[in-house]
Amino acid sequence: MKIALGCDHGGYLLKEEVKNYLSQKGILFEDFGCHSTESCDYPDMAEAPCAAVISGSCDFALLFCGTGIGISIAANKHKGIRAACCSDCFSARATRLHNNANVLCMGGRVVGPGLAIQMVEEFLAADFEGGRHQRRVDKLTALEQ
């Protein structure tokens, strides 16, 4: 498994915490930036991680901005991306199980590092259930056409 990471300035510190966790667990990742708290635009910062997921060079992406909302909206503009902005473990797990999300977005001003790590664990451990959920995911995919 390989994870794409991306953030704007508002999510930088939280991304760094999650990056440290991934390193400690031996989970491969590629950090597409940003690399400081200097102001930058979340639509720009979502582009490369989403491209990595779409191309298959990364399995999932973890994206961070101040609230998680802006970067999730930007991510969802990319065909093939199903990004979910979450701030609790139940939603982080359920979005994989039911929505087959391939991007988890979090807010650096909303979620603390401990919770963020728990959410990442839940997201990465869950597998899409398919079944009745597949029909709904297929309808989401059809909206991209």
Q: Which residues are catalytic?
A: 65, 98
Is 4 strand, coil or helix? strand
Cβ atoms of 22 and 66 within 8 Å: the answer is: no
Do 71 and 47 contact (CB within 8 A), yes or no?
Answer: no
DSSP class per residue in 60-94:
EEEEEESSSHHHHHHHTTSTT--EEE-SSHHHHHH
Residues near 1 by beta carbon (within 8 Å), at least 6 away in sequence: 27, 28, 59, 60, 124
